[in-house]
Structure 1
């Protein structure tokens, strides 16, 4: 009875604290993710007041948080949208992967962590934060900008790549050999392909089966189906998160909209618990030794993300100002970087990887909204100085003359992907 009371007190304090931190972040218009991570650091190993009886429940809640994050992400897109994005935007996805995954892999190898940690850290530096970026676009009033479909397309391709990437690192972290790892990847790709085919051809029938006018029944069916598929996927050594993502893709129309509205509060709750859980398993004393590598990695990969967005927007015919805005907006890392690092922390392959990922995400989740807001003005300022230095005869730029006209055209293209 005493332990039950202590559990309720501890878990109630966690939820209340997360709510207050979220309110504080909302008042100052920045992402609450760094505050959740700091809260976990404060009450975890080596923190101010380590938790006791509620830690096991927090661990289960964190796993549900990852599943709901991926489910909600899948609900944002239809299978048709995903196939269309793959066909038209895959060059930008390849450039994104090359420029942003390689620095993470190189850093892990330079630190002597080995090839498995290199693959994990590559994913940490590669994937941008969909949640933070979506919020930034809304806060800055850029959802209708011409460059926004380019940004969202890159994020969609990153999310799709998770369906392949997560099974790979799951097999690597489990120590599976070449044959077992290949089998795991083949199963993951086969299941993903099958779900996409079924979603394209029979999505309406699936949604009709799940659909219900009663919100309670819809919530129970969608949540139960998601947890069931996630569990089966994990049993097959694929990934519970990938299973949840595929369930989200398979649902469409009114069912997806209704499920999104019902599950959003649950997603926010358990996702916050996940970030706290990650912080709980990171000793604050382990962060200072990896702070310098994390800072160097943050600087390099902020630059490579800006270059990625600039190149992708240029390829789409966006003006110079829009290119800089696209690049600056993509800088933020967040939830999925922590998801990837969390898998490595659980497996225990490299004790310093978790602290480095925590420091890295803390830096870029704070810097990301700033680069989104100020990259374009800073680029314009530096460009203006360069033209003044070059002289009037060299200042004419035909492309820049069309910037104002393009910037005023804020109506989204009819082919633009849905808001993420």
Structure 2
């Protein structure tokens, strides 16, 4: 009987997610807000709380995080990461300073303590690579001059996750200074080792994993990823970091083939992850933190725009391209929820989960709008400021031109 109820509940969840995804696609919106709202509806305090399938959904959610980071790693080669780090690290530092500090400051002002401050700093810092990539494609800006700048900022954020996630994992687990330092050292050592092996022996690793049979390639890559993620978690390093490093180690045709095969699985389990996060957030806990979430969303939307503008200006992009770069970086999404989920699972601060949910809901909706309209609004505002001066300068010339010429 329990098995039947589990199948009914989980089947209903998957079907509902599919319908929500189709609805969002029809209006060219990100489905993430709808997935979060679905979780809120079926979680504690929701319209129809689930029971039998919760444990199964939790496992699916963990796989979703692993696949999100694996697919992210497959997007980059080790040489790309090293090159971006050398060229664009000032933009990454500015990005971190402008967008992480507001989150940390709000957590401290609310009296949540230093651990929650570090977590909320990550929530407000990391942009949503998935949402931004989709928006750039929908707007036809993939070939624009400012797009490499946007991608460079995202790459640096993703690389920073390999350092940040072990720190957060150690902090929320209550590890002391020695244990936390050891965890960070292991993570940095593993990241450095993987980058070295990928640069020197990337072809050998890819050849070992490679297979002409899609089924075998899928099983080997997925099994290797989950195994490495489990080992990483056992060492108190984030499982997500382990998956990210596996993605970096693979390159060439193997990475392309794995990306194609795993994309549907990533989308499925990532959707389950967002539902799982919503399931553990009581809808009645959101209204008390809605005002701080809204204020934080407005501030960090502006700081992201400033980040993109500064990075594009440093790369020699035109003014219009700078505004487009800034507006494109506003969206937060999957990684903000991943970071908040670590704190929620550890019971760090009860209000952190609701605030992160509201924050992501606001910015994942606002992000595509700022990507589309930041540059036109900035151009309109610039012309409006200059128009009185321009009118004052052209009016005398007009009068002189119209005046009769003396004989």
Query: Do the structures match in fold with TM over 0.5?
Result: yes
CA distance in 1, matches of 2:248, 2:67: 13
The match for 2:378 is 379
Residue number in structure 2 paired with 1:173: 172
Q: What is the match of residue 356 of structure 2?
A: 357
State yes or no: 1:330 paired with 2:323: no
**Alignment partner of 1:316 is 2:308:** no
TM-score by length of 1: 0.93
> How far apart are the structure 2 equivalents of 1:7 and 1:239?
29
What is the CA-CA distance between 1:28 and the residue it aligns to?
A: 0.3
Structure 1 residues 118-164: Cα deviation after superposition (integer angstroms, max 9, x where no partner): 00000000000000000000000000000000000000000000000
In the alignment, the residues of structure 1 paired with residue 88 and residue 134 of structure 2 have an alpha-carbon distance, to the nearest angstrom, of 23
User: Which whole-Å deviations, capped at 9, do the CAs of 1:214-260 have from their partners, x for residues lacking one?
Assistant: 00000000000000000000000001000000000000000000000
CA contact (8 A) 1:387 1:394 kept: no
Would you say the 8 A contact 1:45–1:280 is kept in 2? yes
1:364-420 CA-partner distances (Å, limit 9, x unpaired): 00000000000000000000000112335889xxxxxxxxxxxxxxxxxxxxxxxxx
Aligned to 1:190: 189
Aligned pairs for 1:18-417 within 5 A: 18-391=17-390
Q: Which SS does the other structure have where 1:391 is aligned? A: helix
Q: Give CA deviations for 1:288-345 in whole Å, capped at 9, x if unaligned.
A: 0000000000000000000000000000000000000000000000000000000000
The runs of 5 or more residues in structure 1 that have no matched partner are: 396-420
> Does structure 2 conserve the Cα–Cα contact (< 8 Å) formed by 1:95 and 1:308?
yes
1:399 is matched with none
* Distance in 1 separating the partners of 2:348 and 2:367: 29
Question: What corresponds to 2:404 in structure 1?
Answer: none
- The number of aligned residues is 394
3-state SS of 1:62 partner: helix
* CA drift at 1:84: 0.2
Deviating runs (4+, > 2 A) in structure 1? 389-395
The 3-state SS of whatever aligns with 2:316 is coil
* Structure ID, larger Rg: 2
Cα-to-partner distance string for 1:337-366 (whole Å, 9 max, x where unaligned) = 000000000000100000000000000000
- Taking the aligned partners of 1:390 and 1:309, their CA distance within structure 2 comes to 29
Q: How big is the shift at 1:57?
A: 0.3
Spell out, residue by residue over 1:25-82, the C-alpha distance to the aligned partner (whole angstroms, 9 max, x if none): 0000000000000000000000000001000000000000000000000000000000
Retained in 2: the 8 A contact 1:40–1:279?
yes
Query: Which structure 2 residue ranges, 5 or more long, are not aligned?
Result: 395-407
Distance (Å, rounded) in 2 between the aligned partners of 1:184 and 1:393: 65
Q: Retained in 2: the 8 A contact 1:215–1:262? A: yes
SS in 1 for 2:116: helix
Q: Distance in 1 between matches of 2:46 and 2:154?
A: 35
Counterparts of 2:109 and 2:391, CA distance in 1: 47
- Partner Cα separation in structure 1 for residue 266 and residue 387 of structure 2: 51
Q: TM-score, normalised by structure 2?
A: 0.96
Q: What is residue 401 of structure 1 aligned with on the other side?
A: none
